[in-house]
Amino acid sequence: MSNLFITSLPLPIARSTLAGPSRLPHRCFSNIPPVSGRQVLGRITPKRIAVPRSAIENGQYAAPAGYTNSSLPRRSIWRPIVFCGLLGGGGYAAAALYTNNDTQKWGDKLGGSSWWRKGQSQPSDREIHRAKQLEGARSAQKTLNNLPNTLSFLPNFLLIPVLRTYVMASEFYLNTPSAQLAPMGLIFVMGNVFVWWKLRRLEPFMRKWWLHRPIVFGTKRDEWRNCVTMFTSVLSHQSLPHLAFNSLALFSFGSAAYSYISSSPSFPALSSSTHTPHFLAFLLTAGLFSSLGSHLWTNIFRYPALMKALSHPARISSPQALMSHQGILPSLGASGAIYAALTLTACAYPDSSVGIIFIPFVSVPIGMGVAGMVTLDLIGLIRGWRLFDHVAHLSGALFGFVYYRVGREVWQWTREKFGAEHKGSGLF
């Protein structure tokens, strides 16, 4: 795929830390010149408390009068690590187990060790894919034959368009490569989550379960519950441009990443009836890794700085404290996982090019594009830019590079542990 051309997003792809201008806290600086000589900075409306400096230095945060211990923000480190490790590892293992079972099922259907395979004891991936395609066509035809009876209550002017729509959808599904179907399925899921955001009745539910807040107010149970949003926030987009750009990037780079992870490594490969579980496991672990990286960065580095800035009542309205607080906002978006797919694609297909969506007929080498995006995120991290979640981007890029180096080997090792068989030699 040396001539692979991929359409990318305008730089950079963003895991947003602003989930809608009217839904999350804004900066409170006033744009109106002060009436007197006193500088107008605004006021802090969420929970703001003074914490004794000695308690901060000792890592203990005693609740002042009028507050309980659960009213104080909690440093959240080990539980998110455990959660991401269990969910990512469990999802990866489940994907490998499903692939093994599905491959075994189709191998049994096609007959293992058949004489016409010229030495292979297992059916080839091409054989399995063709058999699955024929099976899908037969199933679709059977459903089509039964639809007129099932929908007999419809008049012909409605029944005929329904049947034609079903035929077109079935043909599209059967003829579209899995490398495109898998990203499209994820885009469909993200689109549904976006629609949920627009339903006013669901807004409290969405803010609770589909936004990730790195700073936890509450008990240990609240901290565990907050860990769930490290996964759900990856599928969540609150603005249409954010969803559109990430969907375009996921379709482009996700398809290329799928093609790479489905290709055979240099060592003897395993039979695979499907590569979609591997692709989904890759994106799951990439999304969790990027969310965890951003979460830990906030709790290990930014959170102590915030607590020190708020350690004295006289400093609670200082510009430094105000800006530090407003920089820690909920985040959402699939950009970390997309960064992993982009970096994996750049490593796997270094001769390919990427186009900038708003500048037609202009393309750059994919390596240069990725280097520029990573550099921009590093600058944003150093300078403290708050619009994008730069740590999540960089974590995703790191994961994609590591997965390019060892990902297919880890996947094959995992499948072998669950009993997968190599494409070994038969009698001939």
Which residue from 281, 400, 295 is spatially nearest to 339, judged by alpha carbons? Answer: 400
The residue with greater pLDDT, 422 or 36, is 422
Which residue from 175, 234, 186, 245 is spatially nearest to 209, judged by alpha carbons? Answer: 234
How confident is the model over 370-385, as a mean pLDDT? 90
Residue with tokens 């060892």: 406
Q: What is the 3-state secondary structure (H, E, C) of the chain?
A: CCCCEEEECCCCCCCECCCCCCCCCCCCCCCCCCCCCCCCCCCCCCCCCCCCHHHHHCCCCCCCCCCCHHHCEECCCHHHHHHHHHHHHHHHHHHHHHHHHHHHHHHHHHCCCCHHHCCECCCCHHHHHHHHHHHHHHHHHHHHHHHHHHCCCCCHHHHHHHHHHHHHHHHHHHHCCHHHHHHHHHHHHHHHHHHHHCCHHHHHHHHHHCCECCCEECCHHHHHHHHHHHHHHHHCCCCHHHHHHHHHHHHHHHHHHHHHHCCCCCCCCECCCCCHHHHHHHHHHHHHHHHHHHHHHHHHHHHHHHHHHCCCHHHCCCHHHHHHHHCCCCEECCHHHHHHHHHHHHHHCCCCEEEECCCCCCEEEHHHHHHHHHHHHHHHHHHCCCCECHHHHHHHHHHHHHHHHHHHHHHHHHHHHCCCCECCECCC
The residue with greater pLDDT, 248 or 38, is 248
User: 216, 74 in Cβ contact below 8 A?
Assistant: yes
Angle at 128 between CA 125 and CA 130, to 5 degrees: 110
Q: So what's the pLDDT on residue 267?
A: 64
For the full predicted model, state whether its pTM sits above 0.75: yes
Split at pLDDT 50, 70, 90, the class of 354 is confident
pLDDT digits (tens, 9 = 90+) for 190-247: 999 999 999 999 999 999 999 999 988 778 888 899 999 999 999 999 999 999 999 9
pLDDT digits (tens, 9 = 90+) for 98-155: 999 999 998 888 875 454 455 556 778 888 889 999 999 999 999 999 999 999 999 9
Q: So what's the pLDDT on residue 158?
A: 93
Edge-to-edge strands, sheet with 363-365: 5-8, 353-356, 363-365
321 pLDDT more than 60: no
Q: So what's the pLDDT on residue 364?
A: 86
Of 33-37, 176-180, 322-326, 372-376, where does mean pLDDT reach its minimum?
33-37
* Half-sphere CA count of 325, side-chain side, radius 13 A: 27
**Residue-range domains of the chain with CATH:** 5-34+41-119+179-417 (1.20.1540.10)
* Half-sphere CA count of 123, side-chain side, radius 13 A: 22
Instruction: In whole angstroms, give the CA distance from residue 240 to residue 298.
Output: 27
Percentage of the chain exceeding pLDDT 90? 55
Q: So what's the pLDDT on residue 402?
A: 97
Cα end-to-end distance, the chain, whole Å: 33
182 pLDDT more than 70: yes
Instruction: In whole angstroms, give the CA distance from residue 377 to residue 67.
Output: 38
